[in-house]
Chain A
Amino acid sequence: MSDTTTLPRPRRALPSMTVIGPVLALVLLVIIGTALNPNFLAWANVTNVLARSAFIGIIAVGMTFVITAGGLDLSVGSMAAFIAGLMILVMNAALPALGVGVPLVLLGMATALVAGLAAGFLNGILITRLGIEAFIVTLGSMGIYRSLVTWLADGGTLSLDFTLRSFYQPVYYGGILGVSWPIIVFAVTVVLGEIAMRRMVFGRHCAAIGSNDQVARYSSVNVGRVRLMTYVLLGLLVGVATIMYVPRLGSASASTGLLWELEAIAAVIIGGTVLKGGFGRVWGTVIGVLILSLIGNILNLTDLVSPYLNGAIQGAIIILAVILQREGKAGA
């Protein structure tokens, strides 16, 4: 009953805490980082942090759409592992026929994208056509993919053929003008995602569905298709992230992509997207991703706090972010 009194207040000139909160937190982290270690802002460290954030970041952009439309996807981490395993198997198998070269790498990339699309489509179809809760469906597929990759690797590790790995490696380590490919792809994904969310019909429809799917349906929005598209998009982006990830280590195992889903969801929420759906912010997600990886980075660069406490600090930040979101919404 009491929340009836907290009617949304009219706009003020100052942006609310939900907007500046994450930005302030990021700035604060950068200041702390620089104060603790002068190398923090060095080019090498910055690009390293960004490149490592790219996988989660690309996935989190897709997750932003899923959550904005009122959904959730817990399967992305194990989906990434499965796609990585599949990609390695396909490339190794086609190696004798195609030989090391661009066609083989393209085949690997195509495999990842198709597998990502298919996996996302499967999740989406189960959720939208059969009407099963997203939480349940993706909890199920999370287990399935994790187990499949373990089975493919026979409990061990799937490794890319050595010569192939050195040929493929530049996709992670190379780049243009000193900016590596994962960073470039991440940046492009973010820009496109931001435009799609704020300026395109798709993003508007996602927000409408997330805030009230009945209203969306009565307004002739194709609710099922838009929802399905969010999962397909996320699957595709998991494929893209995997393409960037495989050349880094050249292998996949049962522990690949472990807990990525939680990190991606956390980044989305820290960035100001509403977990219940209805409002999403892609640039916020980027800030969320950066906050999470900077914490790890700072702990690694300094020995003030044990890096083993990384998870605890991230957890505290997530809870804090949600509290700030509430203040921004309810404070009068």
Chain B
Amino acid sequence: MSAPALALAGVSRSFGPVEVLHGVDIALRPGRVHALIGENGAGKSTTMKILAGYLAPSRGELRVAGTPARFASVREAEAAGIVLIHQEFNLAEQLTVEQNLFLGREIRRGWLLDKPAMRARARALLDRLSCAAGVDRVVSSLSNSDKQMLEIAKALAREARVLIMDEPTAVLTRAETDILLTQVRALRAAGTAVLFTSHKLDEVREIADDLTIMRDGAVVWQGEAAGMSEHDMAEAMVGREVSGLYPAKPPAPGGAPVLEVEGLDVPGHAEGVSFGLRAGEILGVAGLIGSGRTETFEGLCGLRPARGRIRLDGREVRVRSPAEAKALGLGYLTEDRKTRGLLLTKSLRENLTLTALERFARLTIDTAAEERALDTAIAEFDIRAGARDGPVGNLSGGNQQKLLLARTLLPEPRIVVIDEPTRGIDIGTRQQIYRFIRELAASGRSIVVISSEMQEVIGLADRVLVMCRGRVAGTLEGADITEAQIVRLAMGLGAPAPAAEEPA
């Protein structure tokens, strides 16, 4: 086997008094894909940041091609050919795609920028990733998956010898993931050392050569990936037997619909969407990215301009703002946790109670009651926070998601729309969240789960609404909820077909 291009030896890392990594060893070899998996908060992102020079180890050693090294800055690491793609996007939102791609390493002709050269190169890089986004688009207008592709293109442009990707596929659809995996294979063939992490174990099975499993800041398993099944991985990660990911579905609830939506138009995104939702029901919403799933439900919840008839308990209502939605008992959990979900610089407590703040205030806010609510949320959702009063931005991605879920449910909405409930969440917690959603439904609430993960929709939903190009393509129920049926409807086709790209 080739010598490691980059390695950690006995690395520990503390934040203040809390040690989050304990003596981690890991070696990345040229021409091999290494997967790092573990529960939320296990220390994957921290390990990756140390490898890429974003964080310094508190103890232990970083070795580049066998020799101990210390990067003073990310630039030095990049100069050594090590590139990290962060779990959260690291893009200048107001700049264009091309400007982002060449940020800090602009191509110049004399004193001036060589615009045509950069644009051409940007186009070529994006084409390699089958990404249709225009090079002059402002990044803030891109979809999440295009943003992820742009991050990957940035890394490709840097011609990395070691490419580290923190949950690159979390926001990608299966089809986009396949494109990414193809690129990873090409890089591997070209001799790049690749490290990536993902909570989707099937991807790990598919592409990893080497595997490291972490739990609570320490490596618990390391070796060749070939011998490990998904089930083995899950068990090693969580430290207990994991089976029955999805809770059993009770008989489909009957009764009159609680929510009836008729001819909902969200200008530019969706048209004539109609559906009903019963008490105790979990409605899955499937569709390709760009099919208007998110926008439809943002429109329903007053987050975007929308027209149409909405009836709650048979009574016609208007939802013009999220505040009105809340008053009507409608809750919405966004898929975009960093820019729309959480106040990253504020504490857990302030984030948790933001939506339901009136409940904690008469004239002034009762912080003691807020703290109690936080205790409950931490226990109920198994939120693992190093320091309870630190900023939310310090939580691991999955724990941020759990906090977001806790916040959405705190005002006790009767109808909850959850957009991508388990994005970036480990398998053990996913099981807990599914059970939780099922319990919410069992208590008489109505739940809408929008998800790009087919298995999630199939495993969780009582009924599935499939969207295609801004319209409802069909509704599936009971035994009809199958992958083939969903794909067929999502593609707007009559027969099952392979997933293809929807134009952005």
Contact = CB atoms under 8 A, between A and B. Distances in A.
A220 B326 contact: yes
A4 B90 contact: yes
Given A215-B340, A278-B345, A201 B17 contact: no
B339 A221 contact: no
Contact of B343 (A2, A7, A201, A211): A211
B18 A10 contact: yes
Given A1-B104, A8-B390, A215 B322 contact: no
Interface stretch (A53-61, A124-132, A202-210): A202-210
Contacts of B387: 10-11
Contacts of B54: 4-5
28 contacts: A2-B73, A4-B74, A5-B74, A7-B394, A8-B390, A8-B391, A9-B16, A11-B390, A200-B364, A204-B365, A205-B357, A207-B350, A208-B343, A212-B344, A214-B339, A215-B339, A215-B340, A215-B341, A215-B342, A217-B303, A217-B340, A218-B334, A218-B341, A219-B322, A219-B354, A220-B322, A221-B322, A279-B345
B346 interface: yes
A81 B332 CA distance: 47
Nearest to A216: B354
Contact of A8 (B104, B326, B358, B393): B393
A199 B364 contact: yes
Given A4-B74, A8-B390, A212-B343, A219 B355 contact: yes
A8 B323 contact: no
Contacts of B18: 10
Nearest to B391: A8
Given A7-B394, A214-B340, A215-B342, A199 B354 contact: no
B142 to A, nearest CB: 16
Top 10 nearest A-B pairs (CB, nearest first) are: A10-B16, A199-B364, A220-B326, A220-B322, A219-B354, A219-B355, A218-B340, A222-B323, A214-B340, A201-B361
Contacts of B364: 195, 199-200
A8 B394 contact: yes
Contact of A201 (B345, B358, B390): B358
Residue of B334, B364, B386 with most partner-chain A CB within 10 A: B364
B382 to A, nearest CB: 22
Contacts of B346: 207-208, 211
Interface residues of B, number: 46
Contacts of A218: 303, 322, 332, 334, 340-341
Interface string B84-103: 00100010000000000000
Interface of A: 1-2, 4-5, 7-12, 195, 199-201, 204-205, 207-208, 211-212, 214-222, 278-279
Interface in B352-389: 354-355, 357-358, 361, 363-365, 386-387, 389
Nearest to B86: A4
A221 B323 contact: yes
A201 B365 contact: yes
Contacts of A7: 15, 55, 393-394
A201 B354 CA distance: 9
Contacts of A214: 339-340
B345 A9 contact: no
A8 B357 CA distance: 26
A218 B340 CA distance: 6
B183 interface: no
A186 to B, nearest CB: 22
A142 B64 CA distance: 60
Nearest to B393: A8
A207 B346 CA distance: 9
Contacts of B303: 217-218
B161 interface: no
A227 to B, nearest CB: 13
A200 B361 contact: yes
Contacts of A199: 364-365
Contacts of B342: 215
A219 B344 CA distance: 14
A277 to B, nearest CB: 11
A252 to B, nearest CB: 37
A215 B75 CA distance: 32
Contacts of A2: 73-75
Nearest to B55: A5
B325 interface: yes
Nearest to B358: A201
A10 B17 contact: yes
A204 B356 CA distance: 12
A178 B205 CA distance: 80
Given A199-B364, A220-B322, 17 more contacts: A1-B75, A5-B74, A8-B345, A8-B393, A8-B394, A10-B390, A11-B387, A195-B364, A205-B357, A208-B350, A215-B340, A216-B354, A217-B340, A218-B334, A221-B322, A221-B354, A278-B345
Residue of B303, B325, B343, B365 with most partner-chain A CB within 10 A: B343
B336 to A, nearest CB: 8
Interface in B280-325: 303, 321-323, 325
Contacts of A1: 74-75, 90, 104
Given A5-B54, A208-B354, A212-B343, A222 B321 contact: yes
A5 B389 CA distance: 20
A200 B358 CA distance: 9
A12 B90 CA distance: 29
A117 B104 CA distance: 48
Contacts of B326: 220
Contacts of A278: 343, 345
B469 interface: no
B407 interface: yes
B15 A220 contact: no
A211 B323 contact: no
Residue of B325, B341, B358, B407 with most partner-chain A CB within 10 A: B341
A261 B351 CA distance: 33
A215 B16 contact: no
Interface in B377-424: 386-387, 389-391, 393-394, 407, 411
Contacts of A5: 54-55, 73-74
A199 B363 CA distance: 8
Contacts of A200: 361, 363-365
Nearest to B321: A222
